[in-house]
Every structure is written in structure tokens, then in C-alpha cells.
Amino acid sequence: MKTIGIIGGMGPLATVHLYERIVLRTKALRDQDHIRVLIDSNTNIPDRTKAIISDGEDPTVELIKSAKILESSGADFLIMPCNTAHYFINTIQEGVNIPFINMVEETVKYTAEKYGSDTVVGILATDGTIKSKIYENYYARLGIKTVIPGKSQADVMKFIYDVIKKGNYNEGTALMFNAVKELKEMGATSFLLGCTELSSAQYLYKFEGNFINPIEVLTEKSIEFAGGQLN
């Protein structure tokens, strides 16, 4: 089987959850049936949102460094559990000679297959992901309508940075569901967890509904691309 290389550290918890999901979703009877996974949890990568919406430090230097480390260590292809960082995916890809699974693109394809092209996707994500229109542009290519939070976007950012990234899990999900409520009022019928902290929140709090989890999509695509079997 092919070896997976994970560009991680954005954040560390999302990296842990991606690796855990790969292990749990791989059909295996023994250690040797699992896929070899290399992880560079590079916490030196500058904040992606700040780089996109303000004058934050360019993260591509560290992103490419991680990609090259994984390639030279034996990774056959790369994955990256950070939605916002996919804004820079073409630049990273140019720095290596191995394939890169695009989590954003695969998530959008999954949405069309799961909910159909007439669904209205409410996007829950960082300011950087929303401002860059990463997901909106991919969804538009498939004719899928999207909506984004208005006043509740500040709640989404607070939930991502002050609850999940800081490990204040006992604060609960009230902030995020303020945004879900607003998106429903705007016509959303499905909800994209467009930040890996939000994907992690789904695993932590076990909330259910028409949520689209990019980490889960990436997990399945990675196992299949590596030559493993889905459990």
C-alpha cells in the first residue's frame, strides 16, 4: 500500500483526529493490514487566516518545508487537515513531486453525491476561508448554492479559537449553533464544517444532523488512494 504523508499541526487536535479516523476506518485484522502514515505536526506554520485577510506571515514556507520532509521520508502522497491552508495548495504542490489530495475539492464532490445539487450549503469556517471563497468557488462549479453567517460569524471564530483551539471544551457548542440557526433562517439545508476545529468538535461533542465533515471525507479518500479497505 501507499504511504500517507500528513501535513499537520493546523491544529494538532485536528491532526490527531485525522490519524485516528484513518486507523478506525481502515479494515484490518492485524497491524500489518493498516496503512503506513507519516505525520509532520508542524506547529510553526503561521496562522493561515491572518495571512489571507491581513498582513500575517506567509505560511507557505513552512507548509512547503513539511511537504518536502514528508516526501523525502517516503510519503507517496500528501493530505492536509486544514481547510484554510488549501488556499495555498497549488503553491505547496509545486514544491513536491508527489500527489496531493485536495480535501476541499473532495468535500464538495461528496456534498453533491450525498445531498444533491439542490441543497443549500451553510458554510461554517474561519474568516480566512470565507473571505477567500475557497468553498464557494468549488460549490459554484457544481451549481450548488451556499450561504455564510452574518452577525454570527464572530461566534464561529470565537468557538474555533477560544473553545476548541484553547481546549475549553466544557464551554459547549452554543456559539456554533448560533450560526447554524442563522444559516437555517437563510435557507441552508446542509452545513459544512469548513474548519478542522469544527470537524474535531463533531467528534468531541457527537452532534448529529446534516453536517458535512471534511476530515471524514479526507479519511475515506486517503484510505482508498493508499490501497486500503474501508471499514
- Are the CB atoms for 203 and 196 separated by under 8 Å? no
Residues of the chain falling short of pLDDT 70: none
Return the domain boundaries, the chain. Answer: 4-102+217-226, 104-214
CATH of region 4-102+217-226: 3.40.50.1860
| Residue 55 confidence (pLDDT) | 84
pTM: 0.94
What one-character-per-residue DSSP string does 67-127 give? HHHHHHTT-SEEE---TGGGGGHHHHHHT-SS-B--HHHHHHHHHHHHH-TT-EEEEE--H
Read off the amino acid at residue 112: A
Which residue numbers are catalytic?
82, 195
Residue 217 confidence (pLDDT): 98
pLDDT reported for residue 231: 92
Distances (CA, A) of 216 to 57, 64, 151, 175, 197: 29, 24, 28, 23, 13
Query: Which pLDDT score is estimated for 54?
Result: 87
| Assigned architecture for domain 104-214 | 3-Layer(aba) Sandwich (3.40)
Q: Which cell is 66 given?
A: 513539511
Largest distance between two CA atoms of the chain: 50
Q: What does the alpha-carbon distance between residue 217 and residue 220 come to, in Å, rounded to a whole number?
A: 5
